């Protein structure tokens, strides 16, 4: 098929603690990528590379309607660090210190917190049907090696509490549990270590993306799982490979605070 007449895709590259995103503004009938193009752009050797690609659409009730894609072309219902990046774009455009995003997981509220961005990722999903799981089991002690916890944060998470997070072969164990039959839609996998100061160390294997330097929805799931197991309060700092996130599980949802960065803008020829 001749694609020479197709207009190029303009994009912005951003990251939250190294969790990196290609963001494409699809408003005003601007071109958006096909699934094949998402995969091509996501190739870290031959493309741009990203953990998620984000397409922004016009919205009647929010600053943006947002669609998240993994590097394998599949969609994700939520992405916390990307939401913080997008919220910064929305606030810069509107001149306000707050923003509202509409995602597959629902409406997300965000605000400035000094030099950081805070987003409410909504209440955790704690029903086996809605995570979703394949059958009714104890979400705090799944019938898997290591008895992990399950939490939904707009996408499914499987949280393991381990003695030494650095010792986990995440490429092997993450891929193994991502595809476990207990998770009919696959799952993100977190390996978490409790530290002596009350904070947590987290490493993440993202569904459809692989190991990542940070995962915002994963950090939310970890905070919920840790509190439900009695390991932390509802307010906790989590150390990820790319930096720190602060989590606060309030009555209206799990609030996540952290930094964001702009990398560059570019054009993808088609």
Contact (CB, 8 A) for 215 and 188: yes
Pairing of strands 98-103, 64-70: parallel
Query: Cα angle vertex 190, ends 167, 256, to 5°?
Result: 125
Answer yes or no: is 152 a known binding residue: no
Q: Does residue 220 carry a catalytic annotation?
A: no
Which is the catalytic residue, given 79, 85, 158, 220?
A: 79
Answer yes or no: is 229 a known binding residue: no
How far CA 163 is from CA of 128, 194, 258, 270, in Å, comes to: 27, 8, 26, 48
Give the whole-angstrom CA distance, residue 252 versus residue 107. Answer: 12
DSSP bridge pairs for 65: 57, 102
- Rounded to 5 degrees, φ, ψ at 33 are -80, 150
Give the whole-angstrom CA distance, residue 141 versus residue 194. Answer: 17
Answer yes or no: is 217 a known binding residue: yes
Answer yes or no: is 81 a known binding residue: yes
Q: Does residue 158 carry a catalytic annotation?
A: no
How far CA 199 is from CA of 142, 159, 186, 202, 232, in Å, comes to: 23, 16, 28, 10, 8
Answer yes or no: is 80 a known binding residue: yes
Answer yes or no: is 29 a known binding residue: no
Answer yes or no: is 111 a known binding residue: no
Give the whole-angstrom CA distance, residue 187 versus residue 71. Answer: 15
Burial class (CB in 10 A: 0-12, 13-18, 19+), 21: buried
In the chain, where does DSSP find H-type helix? 35-42, 80-94, 170-178, 216-228
Which is the catalytic residue, given 85, 158, 215, 220?
A: 215
Tokens linked to 210: 């692989």
Give the whole-angstrom CA distance, residue 222 versus residue 211. Answer: 16
Tokens linked to 265: 């803008």
- Binding-site members for substrate are 19, 52, 70, 80-81, 155, 188, 206-207, 216-217
Residues labelled as active-site residues: 79, 215
């Amino acid at each position: 098929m001749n694609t020479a007449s197709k207009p190029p895709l303009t994009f912005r590259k951003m990251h939250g603690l190294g969790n990196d995103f290609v963001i494409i503004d699809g408003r005003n009938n601007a071109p958006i990528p096909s699934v094949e193009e998402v995969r091509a752009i996501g190739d870290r050797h031959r493309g741009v590379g990203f953990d998620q690609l984000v397409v922004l659409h016009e919205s009647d009730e929010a600053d943006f309607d947002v669609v998240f894609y993994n590097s394998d072309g599949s969609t994700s219902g939520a992405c916390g660090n990307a939401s913080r990046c997008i919220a910064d774009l929305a606030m810069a455009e509107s001149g306000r210190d707050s923003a509202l995003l509409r995602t597959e997981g629902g409406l997300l509220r965000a605000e400035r917190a000094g030099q950081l961005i805070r987003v409410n990722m909504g209440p955790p999903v704690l029903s086996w049907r809605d995570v979703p799981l394949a059958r009714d089991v104890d979400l705090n002690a799944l019938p898997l090696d290591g008895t992990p916890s399950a939490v939904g944060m707009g996408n499914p998470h499987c949280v393991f509490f381990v003695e030494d997070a650095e010792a986990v072969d995440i490429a092997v164990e993450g891929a193994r549990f991502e595809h476990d039959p207990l998770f009919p839609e696959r799952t993100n996998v977190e390996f978490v270590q409790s530290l002596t100061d009350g904070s947590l160390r987290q490493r993440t294997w993202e569904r459809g993306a692989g190991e990542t330097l940070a995962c915002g929805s994963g950090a939310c799931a970890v905070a919920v799982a840790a509190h439900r197991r009695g390991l932390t309060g509802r307010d906790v700092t989590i150390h990820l490979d790319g930096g720190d996130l602060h989590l606060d599980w309030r009555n209206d949802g799990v609030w996540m605070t952290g930094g964001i960065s702009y990398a560059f803008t570019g054009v993808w020829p088609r």
